[in-house]
Structure 1
């Protein structure tokens, strides 16, 4: 079999030419990776709800989302993460004050 790019002789089962590196299977349909869902807009939103700002890594690695959508999602994820952090901070602050009051009443 000959390479489609450089015309050198290669083995019949080769997917790439060992001389020029050219792909020999341009006609084959490549199966989509199952993990591509997590790099879509819906996948990023679900990951944000589950993992918070860690989903920014998947947003950065996504090749299916446009740059404009990435910027909007980035701002949305940061805003969501800050709001959740602020709510948790206030909740722990209230809880901490409540425990201090209980310990004072007990005598600790």
Structure 2
């Protein structure tokens, strides 16, 4: 029988966050599709409507959490997939640093765009 290998430590914080973000993402993605594909059809989506939705604190917070959790979940998954494929040593540290910086840049830019689409400030 093949031996199970994972770079996640079972019961560790990264393992737990990967599972929690997956559950959150499934729920928010379902909400997103329902709201923007069934309640409002694609032809009805306008910038003004998006701006009105983003100006609601609850919607803004949900979409911002969606951005942060999707970024963590995706980057953590890619990093661990690379580690599972044998990435180690200096390359592992370099990839970790690049992915961390890319994540920060994505969250900062996503936050800037989200704030620009509101009248909350």
The alignment's TM-score, normalised by the length of structure 2, stands at 0.35
From the two aligned structures, give the one with the greater helix fraction: 2
The alignment's TM-score, normalised by the length of structure 1, stands at 0.38
Higher relative contact order (CA 8 A, sep 6+): 2
Query: Which of 1 and 2 has greater Rg?
Result: 1
